Structure 1
Amino acid sequence: MKKVALLWALMVGLVYPSVAQKDKKASEILDAMSKKYQSLNSYKATFSYAGEGGKYKGDLAVKKNAFRLKLAGQEVFTDGKTMSTYIKETNEVNVQDYDAGSSGEFNPTKIYSIYKQGYNYKYIGEQKQGGQPVDVVELTPEKKNTQITKVQIAVNKKDKSVKGWKLTDKSGKVTSYTIDSFTPNVAIADTYFVFDKSKYPGVEVVDLR
């Protein structure tokens, strides 16, 4: 659960009073990235995760308010109303109501807007990732003593998609995610975002609603 929690910390939108410590160039890059994601009907992505616990691969699919995430032996499903978290090791799924506005929820459908509330940001510079030029922007939370103290987001200069990000926690540990593939506007059935227990023989369902 720890690995998924780190991803939750990046994508959740924290709601705190805003202060005027915003870098203009960083703002332009983030606004362009935000505009791109808001224009999409859906997308799929594969990514690599590297941290203290090792290296892993993950998959993410997003369609409007629905998403499905697979990472390190866990799968998270939500259709925008119900969230199901499946843990492969124990063959158990936890089912709960999904609140997209809750600060404790993982919400990749809002990745394009997290910077708008609760963060200051500045432009770090241009780099290359996977042979492609990216602009790197650093976000720092306005609230002190948060678990995540710094987020660096790499935005593809050409198509404005997120190419990767790094999280630094209060102990100084760095966790990085790299987008390996990104496919916009793919056809995805709504049922893909709903946990189907018939596909997980013997699964124990824990209903927390």
Structure 2
Amino acid sequence: MRNLKITSLAILAFLSLTTVQAQEAKKLLNEVSAKAKSYDNITIDFKYNLNNTKENVSQDTRGDVTISGEKYVLNMLGTTSMFDGNKIYTIVPEDEEVTISSYNPRNDKQITPSKMLTFYENGYRYKMDITQNVKGRKIQFVKLIPIDSNAEIKDILLGIDVQTKHIYKLIQTDANGTKYTLTVNSFKTDQPLSKTLFDFNESKYENDGYYINRLD
């Protein structure tokens, strides 16, 4: 009877600790989301790594993204992806091709650039994870686990700069073991942007001989 009581107390203590950690994680994520939404625009330069030990694949690259509300311009792997609020444009200079598709948020389950700083607001359970010191900056990691048990994502570790409330690192592990790591090199806010930055000039690419591939 005594052992049962001790076990029950241990379970209650664990559940209480888990609840507190979840509340702390939610509070921190809410602060990060509010901070991101307070900016007119955000420009991020980042390092990206894809790693799959089973397939012996490891790939490093750099990229940059400018975000303003839902709109974005992403440069990565020699490709530019743009979203003007209605359509997504994927520009591949090597193939001289532009792919144009309509955006349907109901069909979008990926972490797009415009959602990178707020994707965790729905669909995840979370808890506090490790804390790291990165060149004098305190980085608090929060672990996110999809509520959907059939999700392709196993879990995500989100590293947050405790002082600035900016995301420093995102580590996504898929169900098949593939790991994607995005590390922020620079995080700039409210920069002067061209008024046409998010506008796609179709005639320019047609004149340059690009093939325009319309998916819908």
Q: Deviations over 1:150-207 (max 9, x none)?
A: 1001111111011111010112222210000011011212411123352683211112
Contact 1:21 1:120 (C-alpha < 8 Å) held by counterparts: no
Contact 1:122 1:138 (C-alpha < 8 Å) held by counterparts: yes
Contact 1:100 1:107 (C-alpha < 8 Å) held by counterparts: no
Aligned to 1:33: 32
Q: Deviations over 1:61-120 (max 9, x none)?
A: 011221011111221101101210112332211111223453246532233332221110
SS state of the match for residue 192, structure 1? coil
Aligned to 1:206: 213
- Measure how far apart 1:136 and its partner are: 0.3
Partner Cα separation in structure 1 for residue 92 and residue 146 of structure 2? 30
Select the structure with the greater relative contact order (CA < 8 A; seq sep ≥ 6).
1
Residue 153 (structure 1) aligned with residue 158 (structure 2) = yes
Backbone CA RMSD of aligned residues = 2.2
Aligned to 1:10: none
Partner Cα separation in structure 2 for residue 100 and residue 160 of structure 1? 26
Partner Cα separation in structure 2 for residue 206 and residue 155 of structure 1? 39
TM-score, normalised relative to structure 2: 0.80
Q: Which moved more, 1:50-59 or 1:125-134?
A: 125-134
Contact 1:58 1:72 (C-alpha < 8 Å) held by counterparts: yes
Equivalences, count: 190
CA separation of 1:112 and 1:59: change in aligned 2, threshold 3 A: closer
Match 2:118 to one of 99, 113, 119: 113
TM-score, normalised relative to structure 1: 0.82
Contact 1:40 1:184 (C-alpha < 8 Å) held by counterparts: yes
- Measure how far apart 1:130 and its partner are: 4.7
Contact 2:170 2:181 (C-alpha < 8 Å) held by counterparts: yes
Partner Cα separation in structure 2 for residue 155 and residue 89 of structure 1? 36
Q: Which has the larger radius of gyration?
A: 2
Aligned to 2:42: 43
Match 2:199 to one of 194, 197, 204: 194
Partner Cα separation in structure 1 for residue 110 and residue 173 of structure 2? 20
Question: Runs (4+) of structure 1 moved beyond 6 Å?
Answer: none
Q: Deviations over 1:130-156 (max 9, x none)?
A: 542111001010111322111001111
SS state of the match for residue 146, structure 1? coil
Residue 70 (structure 1) aligned with residue 75 (structure 2) = yes
> Which structure 2 segments of 5+ residues have no match?
1-18, 52-57
> Which structure 1 segments of 5+ residues have no match?
1-19
Partner Cα separation in structure 1 for residue 117 and residue 81 of structure 2? 20
